[in-house]
Homo-oligomer: A and B are copies of this chain.
Amino acid sequence: MARIVKIAAAQSGPIQKDEGRQAVVARLVEMMRQAASQESDIVVFTELALTTFFPRYYEEDRSKMDGWFETDMPGGVTQPLFDTAKKLGIGFSIGYAELTPDGHHFNTQILVDKSVTIVGKYRKVHLPGHVEYEPERTWQHLEKRYFEPGDLGFPVWRTMGGVMGMCICNDRRWPETFRVMGLQGVELVMLGYNTPTLNSLKPGETAKTRMHHNHICMQAGAYQNACWVVGVAKAGNEDGNDLMAGSCIVNPNGEIVALAETCGDEVIVFECDLDECVFLKKTTFNFEAHRRTEHYGLIATQTAAIPPPE
């Protein structure tokens, strides 16, 4: 058996603060063409793929940040992505800042099939960072200021020949993310990330350790749920702020089978056989045979860590 989905991970190089969205979309369209020229079924773009990583900028009046958000998808500036996808017969997934008609702000990702229908929408659940300006940080990470936590859970969609899921950036560090999708039989998880190369609170943490954190979470998530994972970075230096690269495609054994080599716009492609998920889902990770939910209660009922008394 083989159910091949040829996946392109389209890493974005840096987007400077004053780079217009039209120019950014042109870069994404170019990567979409590269993906299609290699007969990819789907191209996965990164988190907040249309702009610089704006949550690093503090603005007292939050409404002044609304310009970074999309009110329509597709909208005028993103329409070329949909038009090109239709012409090339390729699906795609892309992250963007979503401002809803009733004024809610989410860090969002959509899944668009080959007929250019938006078949799935995910809103980032695990927002990292903080709400207020924190002077002790080398730089700010204000996702908790500008976004609300996602309100859609971790849905999956049966489309494009398999069971597809999405998550975004910091979500990948939380095993709950992958597990909730695993419990719905997910076979491929697509995610993007904007992750600083260094730690704003711990200068001694090396770039190598941080890349290890990045990869190990996706690798464990893939293996422990017997699914493919595609992780797509926004990489490089944005107005003096370094973002890690390391975009990768991970197989259900948790092995990295394709890895970006640059910190710029770069497309990596791999033929993912969704049937490679079957063996582990039926054996080691046969959830029905092996999971013991009677001992998992704390996970869903207790938010904070509560150590035993001293």
Contact = CB atoms under 8 A, between A and B. Distances in A.
B304 A287 contact: yes
B255 A307 contact: no
B292 A224 contact: no
A41 B115 CA distance: 63
A174 B291 contact: yes
A293 B300 contact: yes
A296 B285 CA distance: 19
Contacts of A302: 183, 293
Given A157-B308, A158-B307, A296 B299 contact: yes
Number of this chain's copies in the assembly equals: 2
A113 B184 CA distance: 43
Contact of A306 (B158, B183, B292, B305): B183
Nearest to A209: B253
A180 B301 CA distance: 11
Contacts of A281: 305
A134 to B, nearest CB: 11
A16 to B, nearest CB: 27
Given A173-B224, A308-B158, A308-B163, A293 B301 contact: yes
A296 B176 contact: yes
Given A174-B291, A220-B220, A309 B212 contact: no
Contacts of A254: 212-213, 216
Contacts of A268: none
A87 to B, nearest CB: 29
Contact of A125 (B223, B292, B300): B292
Nearest to A154: B295
A234 interface: no
Interface of A: 125-128, 149-150, 153-154, 156-158, 163, 170, 173-176, 179-180, 182-185, 201-202, 209, 212-213, 216-217, 219-221, 223-224, 253-255, 279, 281, 283-285, 287-288, 290-293, 295-310
25 contacts: A126-B290, A128-B284, A128-B290, A158-B310, A173-B224, A175-B179, A175-B220, A176-B179, A176-B296, A176-B299, A182-B305, A183-B302, A183-B305, A184-B305, A184-B306, A185-B305, A185-B307, A217-B220, A217-B224, A220-B224, A287-B304, A287-B305, A288-B304, A297-B300, A299-B299
